[in-house]
Amino acid sequence: MKKRFGVIGAFLVASTLIIHMIRQARENNVKIHKWTRSGYPPHVPPLSLFFISDVHKRKISNDLLSSINDKCDLVIIGGDFTEPGVPKLRTEENLAKLIQLGPVLFVNGNNDDEVDQDWLHQLLDSPQVYNLNDRAFTLKQGNKTIRFLGLAQRYYSQEQIDRLFAEDCADFTVVICHYPDVSRFLNGKEINMMLSGHTHGGQIRLGRFGLRSHGGVTKEEGYDKLVSNGYGTTRVSLRLGAKPETHWITLSSE
């Protein structure tokens, strides 16, 4: 009898945990970052960015979008916006929702590279979307320039990095790359901020332990590096200890 109750108890605990993991994976969290940086040009209006990465197969919730009431200057997609097996219509609807917030900058992730590339390129061929794969987008703020440089690869040679940074004469530079480890190729470059994803914060963590580090902001060589837990999941739609997140970033001078 005790054994039977023990099995039932274990089943109930496991079921409760799985339900919690399903619910956590469906959360719509917006992390707020109000950053005043000495490198941000003075006498320039604050810049508002919405950063989202690792959507994968998830539908972007209307509740998420309705929670954003402020003006959005740019939406930044940090890779893995889709993956093999995701209905194309879902990805198209997700992009249409983000375009409602503001102009979109897009950088590929590894799963984006695995889907129909002709379809993806056609989807990104829109006046409201800028494909930032190994390209730069410059935003004029008065007589100052804010440069967004997208790095779409996992590995770079020094020659490739030097070429991408050759025309970097901006007053403030934001690097966007799906892969956080690309920062190791950026030593000595004039960067103010880096935005990335890919790791899902480990997705399923047991306390402090996970297959990947929890997302967060770290200080690199003179710049801030944000690694997001991401919005969606891959393989299994479960999360534990690594809540899904998007980011509302406000940049201003000190």
Please give the tally of structural domains in the chain.
1
> 117-124 and 88-99 helices cross at what angle (nearest 10)?
20
Query: CA dist 168 to 95, 142, 145, 163, 247, Å?
Result: 29, 18, 10, 10, 26
Cβ neighbours, 10 Å, residue 21:
19
Structural domain range at position 219: 2-252
Q: What CATH code is carried by the domain that includes residue 198?
A: 3.60.21
pTM for the structure as a whole: 0.93
Are 47 and 73 in contact, with CB atoms under 8 Å apart? yes
Angle in degrees, CA 177, 146, 96, rounded to 5: 60
First to last CA, the chain: 68
Report residue 32 CA to chain centroid gap.
14
Residue-by-residue pLDDT tens, the chain, 254 positions: 556 656 666 777 788 999 998 999 999 999 999 988 768 888 888 999 999 999 999 999 999 988 887 889 999 999 999 999 999 999 999 999 999 999 999 999 999 999 999 999 999 999 999 999 999 999 988 888 999 999 999 999 999 999 999 876 789 999 999 999 999 999 889 899 999 999 999 999 888 887 788 889 998 888 999 999 999 998 889 999 899 999 999 999 87
